[in-house]
Amino acid sequence: MSLFGRGRRTDLPEVEEEVATPEVVEEVAAVEETVAVDEPAPVRKAAPIADDIFAKLRAGSVVDVAEKAAVIAPTAPPAAEKKSVAKKVKEKPAVIAADPARFETRNEALAAQVVTAARKLKRVLADEQNSVLEHLRAKKSSLDIDAILGTVDEHALRYATAISDESMAAASAGAKSVKDSGGSSRRVTQKAISTHTTATIASGLVAGFREEARIAIGEAEGDREVLASLMRDVYRKWKMDSIDTHVDDIACSSYSKGAYLALEPGTSISWMVDPVSHCCSECEDNSLAGMVTRGDDFPTGDVHPPAHAGCRCLVCPA
C-alpha cells in the first residue's frame, strides 16, 4: 500500500517510479537535511513532488501526535463534576445596642422592692446579732463560725426567706419585660426563684459577711468579750452600709432570672451591657457574642446576667 496514494500525479508517471526506488528516498533525505540548515535546495526536476511529499508527511505526523496525545492525556472532568470549594465567610455576630429604656424600666420596677428588702434584711441582721451575742455569753458555747452563725446554707436561707416576696416581685417584673417576645410569667415559679435567690445570697452577701466574722473570731483569740465587741462592729457596718449594695445585686439578679425563665427554651437572647456603668470586659465579651440560644452559656459561662457582684446588665430577647 502506498503512503502517497492521494499525492500521485498522473502527468508524470516516470517520477512516480523514482519515488518507489531507494534512490528517491535518499534524495528526499538530502533535501530534508538541506532544508534543516536553511540552505537553498538545488533545483531538481522532482523538487515539487518532494515538497508535496514532506507536506503530507508533516501533516500525517501532526495528526498522529494529536491522536496519541488524545489517547494519553486524561480527559478533563466536566465542569459540573468539579468540586467547588466555597470560601467560608465568618459572619460577625449581631450585637444588640444597649437600650436605655430597658434599664430605666428595670430600675423603676425594682425601686420599691429594693427599699423593702433592705429594711427586712436589716431587721434580720439585728435579730441575728442578738442571737450571736447571746451565744457568746454562754461560757461553754463553741466559737466555731458554724456554731455562731449556722452553716452557709442555713445562713443564706434565713436571709432569702426574709425577702422571698420581694425577690418574687422582682422576678415577675423581669418576666413582664419580655412579654412582647413571647415571655410568660407562668414559667416563673416561686420554687425556682427561691432557689436562685438563696444561691445568690450565699455567694454574695453571706460569703462577704462570714469572711468578716471569721476575721473577728481570729482576732479575738478565744476571748468572748473581745469577740462580742468585734461582732457588734461587723453587724453595725453591714446594717449601715454593706447590705444596701447586696440588696441591689439580689434584686437585679432576680429580675434577670425572671426574664430568662419567662422566655421559651430555644429563644435567641443577647447580653445587653448597662450603658451607664459599662460593667466590665467580661460582660463586653458576652455582648459581643451576639445572639445565644436560651439554655446555652455566654462566654463567661453564665446563662444570663449578672456575671458578678455589681453587674447591672440585662438579658435581651431577639
Asked if 139 and 228 touch (Cβ cutoff 8 Å), the reply is no
Mean pLDDT over residues 256-281, rounded? 92
Question: Which three cell numbers mark 131?
Answer: 442571737
> For residues 277 and 68, which has the higher predicted lDDT (pLDDT)?
277
Question: Which three cell numbers mark 119?
Answer: 429594711
Give the Cα separation of 259 and 255 in Å (integer). 6
93 pLDDT tier (thresholds 50, 70, 90): low
pLDDT score at 276:
86
- Is pLDDT at 66 greater than 90 in this prediction? no
pTM value is: 0.70
Give the Cα separation of 102 and 272 in Å (integer). 10
Neighbours of 299 (CB within 10 A): 16
Domain boundaries, the chain: 5-66, 102-264, 265-318
Residues 6+ apart with CB under 8 A from 168: 190, 193, 194, 254
> For residues 110 and 76, which has the higher predicted lDDT (pLDDT)?
110
pLDDT score at 278:
74
pLDDT score at 181:
92
Q: Name the residue among 294, 301, 252 with its Cα closest to residue 270.
A: 294
> For residues 91 and 20, which has the higher predicted lDDT (pLDDT)?
91
pLDDT score at 306:
95
Give the Cα separation of 27 and 49 in Å (integer). 12
pLDDT score at 15:
41
pLDDT score at 293:
95
- Is pLDDT at 287 greater than 80 in this prediction? yes
277 pLDDT tier (thresholds 50, 70, 90): confident
pLDDT score at 64:
52
- pLDDT tens digits, 2-33: 433 444 444 444 444 444 444 444 443 433 44
3 state SS of 228: helix
- pLDDT tens digits, 115-135: 999 999 999 999 999 999 999
3 state SS of 45: coil
pLDDT score at 13:
45
Mean pLDDT over residues 253-265, rounded? 97
97 pLDDT tier (thresholds 50, 70, 90): confident
